[in-house]
Structure 1
């Protein structure tokens, strides 16, 4: 959305930023009319959402210009989604392509910019859940957090649908282009942009590293708990009961065929419709109906204009942006998935089911896996399986990705290791440890969310200084924090309140063993 000094464009603002830091005529007056000279974030539309339906499954379009004061005192709509056990948000509004900007109160220009891509499995999540004021103030950075299309609205494909399976990726690219055009108005430096994402957001960064349309739009990247960027995942290793998973990237021809099958099965199109009329029918299907198929469309597609090649082949071959990279995992990633989707639904892993899970996941190697992870070595069978899943489905793929990155560019690796971290999603009776998403409470505040102890709060400040130093300089090392060598030395930085320093990640997660396993 262009900010043009030749016409009056004003935004109503709130909470924790200095209007003067935005360097745009009229903003200070708007802030005063809103009740003060401080603001917390500004919500800015990056797509015209008024022509809904017809805009579905098309590239994001520029916002329609307006005159006068646009109310930006509350976050924009989340992308369409159904509430889940891990995300209690329902949204049916396709007018969702907005972004939030958080800037420190103190006046400044040329600040590093961090663009945050939220997680949520590709089906859920919104920018508004992440209050970035601590990150912005600690590191003196500008934080941009966008909403983007998810699931069936972001990764749907159908014969004749141009560049299907990449609409969420295209939305994020529109945000990055907006940052290049406009972030200087908010005190940010468009030549110093770091793309940061967690879980599904980190997976999308892998696509940006490969997509030609993203080249030059960001200059560093941080991938937090990315899931299986390069390879497949054995049965049950993601969630007990879930079969083996293919690579997280779908060939566009395969996606189109799958989309056609789903559309026919669900009656979204009339039989024997030609592609043009079928797409017209699909754009009239109610949001609620489309959302019933959301979990079937979470894999971005490759083979089109936006993502010509799968990141699983392009990255190992070195065909990606050679920029400084940071990546890592949490120490107990899979406890989140085992606790939430097995124990809490009354179907924990048991001594009886454990051998079956191992056999179905690892076939001829099952005996070796069972010997390496004996049940008597863990308090419960669920925790034994969670350790297998953490090591095989999270630590091994992340380590392989980090080593591939390090062969081509400067790369730093970390492990978030605070086993007393307050979980974002409570799992009563289940020892969560440093589970998936547990690091987020140290970077962001959440509405009605978790509280940190004094020691954890101090640690959060140190962790955020690492992140923002990397964003500013392409290297997390700083004199007031423990040294952090890059991963080419074999170093992994363990991050916890009681200790920050190197850890033997390979031994901790049995990665020499897993390198010989399926």
Structure 2
């Protein structure tokens, strides 16, 4: 079932909504910046300047629903950039509010307070299973100030508004594939960065894209997208294996036709116009899930196929996952619902997932080796068999680093089992579950402050990430060495863990996660179909 289910990628839901009003512009203020589209005024804080809610494309409403992003209308009077723009339409998730707003193509910019020129630019693509999330959730002040970088956190269309594919929609926009509107938004934000980075002190010739979960998937998509070529110069994919396949044109359009038929829009000739009449709320809450679509100009090949064929942007890469990725999803499916994993349920799930290889899996992962059946199941599916798994990540590293023109790949695993968690699950040791690295890059992302030792590890992560953004190499004076990943080199994955003296060590995660075993039964290597 883990192999068949949809990608489960961390999401957190919407923030503030509303248009950005015009305000007066005092000449020479440090909180004022003139963009190519018009002036904006943000706020100057203790360590950073922050500009929130800047529109980077026209509102995708009315006839612009399900069309590629269009240029924003320029303005003359300064816009108030002190509050976030609307979060894109999404259901509630992790206890945060839903949003039913389509006018949501806004981004946020955070710079060091002292400013600067030609600073590295880091563009964060948020997670959320392509269904939830918003750029403004991620407080980048510490990242910008300590790393001396400019950080941009855009929204992009989600759910049906970002990823609905239908033949009638594809026919409306020759030269693009329906179902990739969210990816087109991301690339529109990257083009905005090319136009405007210098105004905020950034260098448009030195842009790093980074993202976690669905944002990590977005990094893989843009890495292999011809229409994103030249818009970035380094990339960091967190908790998503680029060895994973996404949705084909045929799969996505068939699912879209089924959705449209359920809304009373079965006629291919009128389905697009008919669906544009449907309310945002109904479409949002009816969305069954979806992913970027392979088969058009934005994504002509599945990411692993593009890597194999050497058809991707040759930029330096950081790639990695967390030590206990799947404890989040096992916990949410079972323990959080009052249905704890039992020994019988553990065996049932292993047999459903691994079929004829299940006896070998059960022998390699005996229940007696784990404190609870939930931890046993989480360990199995964290090691292999899905797009968050360690062995699947290693397959992605190998694809990226084994090209005729190899690119530098730096591999990591976040293993701090004391980290704040996205959700507390009674009866489960959450460990270093999915997304637990995020509070170490973005301040208070789960609302829990870091301890002193955790702040030290956070500083080290920020130093690595921003050194990489600056030069394409995370190594710098004062940091433990982080070697490039070599598939045959053994212990060369940087592990970030407070249980280790100094917070880092080099680990052979292939051995720790039994990847030779998983390869022997066909579950250790990509490509992976959507779960």
User: TM-score higher than 0.5 here?
Assistant: yes
* Preserved contact between residue 56 and residue 71 of structure 2 (Cα < 8 Å): yes
Q: Give the C-alpha shift of residue 312 in structure 1.
A: 2.9
1:229 matched to 2:239? The reply is no
Select 1:402's aligned residue among 397, 401, 406: 397
**Partner Cα distance (1:96, 1:510) in 2:** 44
Instruction: Report the counterpart of residue 314 of structure 1 in structure 2.
Output: 306
Contact 1:21–1:106 at 8 Å: present in 2 too?
A: no
Residue 494 of structure 1 corresponds to: 495
> Which consecutive unaligned segments of at least 5 residues does structure 2 have?
1-20, 171-176, 523-531
- 1:255, distance to aligned residue in structure 2 (A): 1.6
Q: Does structure 1 retain, via aligned residues, the 8 Å contact 2:31–2:41?
A: no
Alignment CA distance shift 1:29-1:216 (3 Å): closer
1:373 aligns with 2:365: yes
CA contact (8 A) 2:164 2:179 kept: yes
SS at match of 2:444: coil
Q: 2:456 aligns with which of 458, 465, 469?
A: 458
Q: Map Cα deviations across residues 417-461 of structure 1 (whole Å, 9 max, x no partner).
A: 101111122223311111100000111123670111101111100
Question: What's the TM-score, normalizing by structure 1?
Answer: 0.88
Aligned to 1:419: 417
Aligned-partner Cα distance in 1 for 2:366–2:152: 46
After superposition, the C-alpha distances for 1:87-134 in whole angstroms (9 at most, x for unaligned) are 523100000010000000013110000000011111111111100001
Contact 2:260 2:271 survives alignment (8 Å): no
Of 206, 219, 225, the residue aligned with 2:220 is 206
Aligned length: 480
Residues 465-504 of structure 1: CA deviation (Å, up to 9, x unaligned): 0000000000001120100001024410011233312012
Cα pair 2:439 2:446 within 8 Å, conserved: no
CA distance in 1, matches of 2:279, 2:82: 29
Q: Could you tell me which residue of structure 2 aligns to residue 343 of structure 1?
A: 335
The answer to whether the Cα contact below 8 Å between 1:483 and 1:501 also exists between their aligned partners in 2 is no
Deviation of the 1:38 alpha carbon: 7.0
Equivalent residue for 1:291?
A: 284
What secondary structure, in the 3-state scheme, does the structure 2 residue paired with 1:326 have? strand
CA distance in structure 2 between the partners assigned to 1:262 and 1:119 by the alignment = 24
Does the alignment pair 1:508 with 2:512? yes
The 3 A distance-change label for structure 1 pair 160 and 367 is same
1:176 to 2:186 alignment? no
The equivalent residue for 2:85 is 76
Counterpart for residue 443 of structure 1: 441
Residue 205 of structure 1 aligns to a residue in which SS?
Answer: helix
Q: Distance in 2 between matches of 1:230 and 1:165?
A: 21
Question: Could you tell me which residue of structure 2 aligns to residue 303 of structure 1?
Answer: 295
> Paired residue for 1:40, among 50, 56, 59?
50
Matching of residue 260 in structure 1 with residue 269 in structure 2: no
Contact in 2 for aligned 1:19/1:28 (Cα 8 Å): no
Deviation at 1:274, TM superposition (A): 4.2
Q: With the length of structure 2 as denominator, give the TM-score of the two structures.
A: 0.86
Query: 1:4 corresponds to which residue?
Result: none
Q: State the secondary structure of the residue aligned to 1:348.
A: coil
CA deviations over 1:53-85 (Å, ceiling 9, x no partner) = 21111001111122323222110111100012x
Aligned-pair distance for 1:166? 0.6
Q: Is the 8 A contact 1:424 1:441 kept in 2?
A: no
> 2: CA distance between counterparts of 1:507 and 1:397?
13
Which residue of 296, 315, 324 maps to 1:323?
315
Q: Distance in 1 between matches of 2:101 and 2:207?
A: 30
Residue 378 of structure 2 corresponds to residue 364 of structure 1: no
Distance across 2 between alignment mates of 1:411 and 1:337:
28
1:23 and 1:60 map into 2 onto residues whose CA distance is 22
Deviations 1:167-216 (A, max 9, x none): 10000000110101111000000000000010000101111111111000
Q: In structure 1, what is the Cα distance between the partners aligned to 2:445 and 2:505?
A: 32
1: CA distance, partners of 2:337 / 2:47 = 49
Residue 300 of structure 1: CA displacement? 0.8
Whole-Å separation in 1 of the counterparts to 2:47 and 2:448? 29
CA separation in 2, counterparts of 1:305 and 1:313? 15
Deviation at residue 35 of structure 1 after TM alignment: 11
RMSD in angstroms over aligned alpha carbons?
A: 2.4
Q: Could you tell me which residue of structure 2 aligns to residue 6 of structure 1?
A: none
Match of 1:156 among 142, 160, 164: 164
Quick check: 1:384 aligned with 2:384?
no
CA, structure 1 residues 362+24, in 2 after alignment: closer, same or farther (shift >3 Å)? closer
* Alpha-carbon shift at residue 20 of structure 1 (Å): 6.8
Which position in structure 1 is the counterpart of 2:111?
103
Kept in 2: contact 1:118–1:200 (CA 8 A): yes
Tell me the residue number matched to 1:234. Answer: none
Secondary structure class of the residue paired with 1:476 = coil
Match of 2:76 in 1: 67
Query: Secondary structure in 1 aligned to 2:419?
Result: coil
Q: Hey, what's the Cα distance between the residues in 2 that align with 1:150 and 1:81?
A: 7
2:7 alignment partner in structure 1: none
Correspondence 1:195 to 2:209: yes
